[in-house]
Structure 1
Amino acid sequence: MNILVLGGTGQLGQCLGKVASQRNITSITFADEIVGNILDIDVLEKLFIAEKPAFVINCAAYTAVDKAEDEVELSRKINRDGAENIAKLCVKYKATLLHISTDFIFEGNVPTLLNEESPAEPISVYGLTKLEGEKAITDVLDQYYIVRTAWLYSEFANNFMKTMIKLGTDRDSLGIIADQVGTPTYGVDLAGALLDIIASDKKAYGIYHYSNEGAVSWYDFAKAIFEIGNITVAVKPLKTSEYPTKATRPAFSVMDKTKIKTTFGIDVPYWRDSLKVAISAL
């Protein structure tokens, strides 16, 4: 059963490569944005014909949250139209799609766990276009798993953990947002969960939430990175109003993982335990 990973050279794609190697999964192909151009359905179809995937994991996305406010059409092309192209080819070639979405589809103005049925009310262009991508998939495809995740980091590519390690090493003090709360997700854990869904051979299609367990602010996440990484730097908590950004972020976006745990028997690690593993790997 061949697996095709689109956006295969990005952060999550590299995490999938690591886990696939650990599990001796060889029937997996990682396509970059040229070979697996999700905006060019003809190019994409050639890839489907060549690889004959039973499963497609879509890691390709426009994820520059602030830039998306100025690049609305590009964000929409990648996050909505690209997702729709993939879904149409999955229908045509009878492949099951695993699509990565985000906690940014939620407004996040109430401190309660968000489940798969919670109202989706995005407050940024990024969140809106990701939600449009979800709808594009569900409108044309039946065999899909949409997996919403949050605060992704790993030893690969650029992410908050690696940025904090660099800044913490270079500077004496940092100010970090303390009034936005969510859950960091170690990309290797998410990759393992995606491959677990495929290995389960269950056809429990639908929308699922996956992040690590627990809840933390960006400030506390940064403090933990410095503590575990043995980095000495003064950290000041900031209010969102003190650090304005083009895109508005959810104030509280902690997701309920009950559905994915009970459906697939997936064990979700605590965020701090996974952070230790990631820093060790880095």
Structure 2
Amino acid sequence: MRVLITGCHGQVGHCFTEQLAKDENTTVLALDKEHLDITNQEAVQATVTEFQPTVIINAAAHTAVDKAEEEVELSYAINRDGPKYLALAAQSVGAAMLHISTDYVFEGNKVGEYVESDTTNPQGVYGESKLAGEFAVAAACDKHIILRTAWVFGENGNNFVKTMLRLGTTRDALSIVGDQFGGPTYAGDIAKALIQIATRITQGDAVEFGIYHFSGLPHVSWFEFADAIFDSAVKQDVIVKKPSLSSITTEQYSTPAKRPSNSRLSTDKITQAFSVEASDWKAALNNIQAYTG
């Protein structure tokens, strides 16, 4: 297996690189934006033509949800055009294209879990640009897997777990949004799931290409997630005392971009197709010291 990874220094990209480095049967070319600008079609095509990957994994994205409302052109360049160029290049060499998308493609007001066939209706530039990227990838490359995920956290990059641990050392009390629900997803589990799929594709197994959902269980609110993070941190002596937590509403916590109140994603399809189980986010908090670096 020859794997080209973009966005290798991001939360998920780092996990891909780390996990694939242990596989003697896989040749990896892991690139960050300094080494490959995915918005430059000529550069993308040249890199892919030279490396001849069997799989391209796009972990690069413009994920600053609030900044995206102002940085519209940049968001579309990275979240739509870049994936399109990678998918076109993948098609040209017969490679499979694995692309990470988001729960933000949905409006976020459904009762229950979102399934892959549900109607999309993004409420902001980030979600709109990511949905445009999904369409672009699907149109450009026959062998594509689009993986929608949510509430990603990991040892690298910025995320909710790291923010909570930082605030927990400096504040006695915190107010956390309690009316937005979703499945926290460990970045390492996303990498593991897509590597499993990539292996199946490379082995020549029959694969149904298309869109899949992958996130964590159990579903919780941000308030409940924060509560679990601090319980783990205190238990593992990462912080001395758990701050006092109070639940607030979305209306009480104003942001430039609208957040979905429901980010619950059903993972039934990916489990049935690839035997990939939902991310166990509670287990990922068992080594919470790793998130303090």
Query: Partner amino acid for 1:253?
Result: S
User: C-alpha root-mean-square deviation of aligned residues, in Å?
Assistant: 1.4
Query: Partner amino acid for 1:220?
Result: E
SS in 2 for 1:276: coil
Q: Greater shift after overlay, 119-128 or 260-269?
A: 260-269
2:6/2:60 contact within 8 Å kept: yes
1:177/1:219 contact within 8 Å kept: yes
Once the two structures are TM-superposed, the CA of residue 275 in structure 1 deviates from its matched residue by 2.5
Aligned partners of 2:283, 2:42: CA distance in 1, in Å?
43
**What CA deviation, in whole Å up to 9, does each residue of 1:83-108 have, x standing for no partner?**
11111111112110000000000111
1:153/1:186 contact within 8 Å kept: yes
Q: TM-score, normalised by structure 1?
A: 0.96
Match of 2:98 in 1: 98
Indicate the percent of aligned positions where both proteins have the same amino acid. 40
Query: Partner amino acid for 2:56?
Result: V
Q: Does 1:252 align with 2:262?
A: yes
Aligned with residue 222 of structure 1, among 222, 226, 237: 226
Query: Partner amino acid for 1:221?
Result: F
Once the two structures are TM-superposed, the CA of residue 46 in structure 1 deviates from its matched residue by 2.0
Structure 1 pair 256/156, CA: closer, same or farther in 2 (3 Å)? same
Residue correspondence of structure 1 range 1-282 to structure 2 within 5 A: 1-24=1-24, 26-201=26-201, 202=205, 203-230=207-234, 231=239, 232-277=242-287, 279-282=288-291
Once the two structures are TM-superposed, the CA of residue 22 in structure 1 deviates from its matched residue by 4.5
Query: Partner amino acid for 2:167?
Result: L
Aligned partners of 1:165, 1:252: CA distance in 2, in Å?
24
Q: Which runs of 5+ in 1 are unaligned?
A: none
Q: Greater shift after overlay, 204-213 or 96-105?
A: 204-213
Query: Partner amino acid for 1:97?
Result: M
SS in 1 for 2:262: coil
Structure 1 pair 25/213, CA: closer, same or farther in 2 (3 Å)? farther
Aligned partners of 2:199, 2:139: CA distance in 1, in Å?
26
Query: Partner amino acid for 1:241?
Result: E
